[in-house]
Amino acid sequence: LILGLYAVGMKALSEKTVTTFSSLTPGHLVNITVKKQAANGLRCTFLGGILGSVHLIHLKDMYNSKSVLEVYPAKRKLAARVLLINPENKTVLLSTLNCHVTMETPCYQLKKGDVVEDVEVVRVTKRGVYVSLDDDITGFVHLKKLQDKETEKVGANFKAGTQHKARVMGFRVLDNLVSTIYTPDLVYYTRYL
């Protein structure tokens, strides 16, 4: 049964297959059209007008040096996987990450507790920074896990392109992110692992 669901899940739905919002379920592969860009990702439509959104961390080219506007202009068509459906306001959360669209399980070569040299900051947000641990491995460091003191200096100390040492603290498989920390006392101290 699981193999059957996997095979069906690899083909994108069409307006003929899904006739109503209520027949849509998480896991469906759909073709989306970008409606507009937002600060936290994209707004899109699919299957004849169903509204959806793709959060920044679920965009496959999130760390491209170009802005979201340039990479995802209005009317661009993409394949996306349905992650979550909100029946109250009839909106859908989608992902364009390759691991979701192709259904390939992310394979992390890292383990919890590993210290990674030369982790590059790729995007700074109000909540923290997104980092590149490797070509295919993306991480997130929450604001409170950046440094021991003066976290308000994040913009000055953690600009895009700067490199730091970080420790792997866990994995957010749904978001395809590695949770990391930069606080020097925890990067070098192993008691809490």
Q: Pick the closest to residue 163 from 114, 118, 123, 99 (CA basis).
A: 118
Provide the pLDDT confidence category of residue 180 given band limits of 50, 70 and 90: confident
User: Has residue 1 got a pLDDT over 50?
Assistant: no
CA dist 149 to 35, 115, 146, 152, Å?
A: 41, 21, 9, 9
pTM: 0.71
Q: According to the model, what pLDDT value does residue 193 have?
A: 47
The tokens describing 128, both together, are 């923290």
* Per-residue pLDDT reduced to its tens digit, 115-171: 888 888 887 877 788 888 876 678 888 887 776 455 456 556 778 888 888 888 888
Give every CB contact of residue 178 below 8 A, 6+ residues apart in sequence. 108, 110, 133, 137, 138, 139, 140, 168, 170, 171, 172
Burial of 151 (0-12, 13-18, 19+ CB in 10 A): middle
d(CA 165, CA 168): 10
Give the residue-averaged pLDDT of 86-111: 82
Residue 55 forms beta bridges with which residues? 41
Computed from CA positions of residues 128, 181, 115, 158, in that sequence, does the dihedral angle turn out positive or negative?
positive
Assess contact for 153 and 146: CB atoms under 8 A: no
For residues 78-101, average pLDDT: 88
